[in-house]
Amino acid sequence: MYKLFVLSFLFITSLLIYAPECAAQVFLSKGKVDQIANASIEYLENVDISIIAINDSSRTIKDDNKLYYEDSTRIISETPPNVIYNRKWYINNYDFNFTWSYEPINATKVAIIDTGISEELLRKKNISPGKNFINETKPPIDDNGHGTALASIIYDISGPYPIEIIPLKSANSKGLLDVSTIIKAIDYAIELDVDIINLSFGAKSPHDLERRALQKAVDSGITVISSVGNSGIEEYYYPAAYDNVLAIGSINQNHVRSSFSTTNDILDFVSPGEKLLVQDYTMLGSTKIVNGTSFSSAYFTGQLAILHTNLLHYSLKQLKTLATDLGIPGYDKEYGNGFIMSDYLLKSLRGKNWETFITSNSMKSWSISLSLPVNPEISLNKYIKIYNGHLQQHPVSIEITDSANLTVTPNSPLAPGEYWLVIDTELQSSKGTKLAQPAIKKIIIN
């Protein structure tokens, strides 16, 4: 990767198809709908969409000033495994011990919109209580198994990292999901300020308000990841095919495309999704084998969450340059831009773990030297910060001592404990170039 700006310190697979409605009529509308006779209306502020439920199935609604969309019901299907496999190759084949050796600085929230999670997983550390959008009076307990499999993959990849998994149950025991329920879950994920949303489902037809809700999530800073589909042929599935979503296909342990993985020109990346040993929801401690792009999507979600905890926030354009190319050289419809491996990226981008500086001076100033003059028009406090051990920001003053040298000083004494001085990749030089990677120094005040 070309380094533009150098800095140093001087100190069961989701495949959704449309199916006929079988309940009271539900309509969706852009914006806020105040009142409709004999209808209940729920306005979702974060996505700016109203959900209108009408008990009279023979009635329709019309307004010259609004366009109403019919709700759609979708169903999860799966690609059964054809072999028994008794080890977690998707963990064992990669150097996660190296990955986990990096001390994380940034907690990460991952929302899984699916069938919920098993009671066993729900009791584990870093698993949020989540929410049940099928029955809001009950916890999001999985009665299908699909959501549990996704959560167990992300949980395994997370290891000791502070990656919070938030199950948002939006499918019933038969795997049916309504677009209106999915939109409610997206709205809630925005409210929770999550970092990543995993959507391991798909349909051949897009839904404009589903796309609109996802764009609201992206605009709020959330990365949305979805499975590309399991047809094994070239076609499009949504939400993966929306341009604001990362579409993930599947490879096996030999880094060869899985035969069921859908191909197309919107495929972004591939990840392991074949013969994966995951937790089952039916019995305490039980496991099962799964195949599908649902699970490669979950794997990619876990990898991206690891990068996020290391303050490695990259755009799609940047991720393309960091992926391991597979298949024919360059982009192709079977592998997209390739495979993201967190151990390889951390070795390349972070090198060794960040340095630790121990001092008793609670008001010590820290000098930063840049290879190019800093952009004088930007707010330096937006990109240069000190965090404490609870990831809370400590106010600092930043002085430009000359065009390429800065001094960072705490506004008040640092209490004894651990801190991190962080320079974000968005810091710009006077020529508009940015850092190729974040710069992080751990500080211990004794």
List active site positions: 114, 146, 294
Taking the C-alpha atoms of residue 38 and residue 42, their distance in angstroms, rounded to an integer, is: 14
CB distance 280 to 242 below 8 Å = no
Nearest to 124 by CA among 175, 92, 158, 170: 158
Q: Where are the beta strands (DSSP E) in 93-161?
A: 108-114, 131-132
Task: Provide φ and ψ at 127, rounded to 5°.
Answer: -105, 120
Q: Which residues lie closer than 8 Å to 150 by C-beta, 6 or more apart? A: 112, 114, 198, 200, 294, 295, 297, 298
What does the DSSP assignment read for 6-32? -EEE--------EE---SSEEEEEES-
CB distance 309 to 289 below 8 Å = no
Taking the C-alpha atoms of residue 14 and residue 1, their distance in angstroms, rounded to an integer, is: 35
Nearest to 326 by CA among 405, 401, 272: 272
Q: Which residues lie closer than 8 Å to 83 by C-beta, 6 or more apart? A: 275, 289
Burial of 431 per CB tally in 10 Å (0-12, 13-18, 19+): exposed
Q: Which residues lie closer than 8 Å to 377 by C-beta, 6 or more apart? A: none
What residues pair up with 441 in beta bridges, in sequence order?
421
Nearest to 420 by CA among 384, 380, 379, 370: 384
Tokens 């002085």 label which residue?
Answer: 399
Write down how long the chain is: 446
Residues 258-274 as b/e (b if ≥16 CB within 10 A, e otherwise) read: bebbbbbebbbbbbbbb
What does the DSSP assignment read for 268-287? -EEEE-SSEEEE-SSSTT-E
Burial of 142 per CB tally in 10 Å (0-12, 13-18, 19+): buried
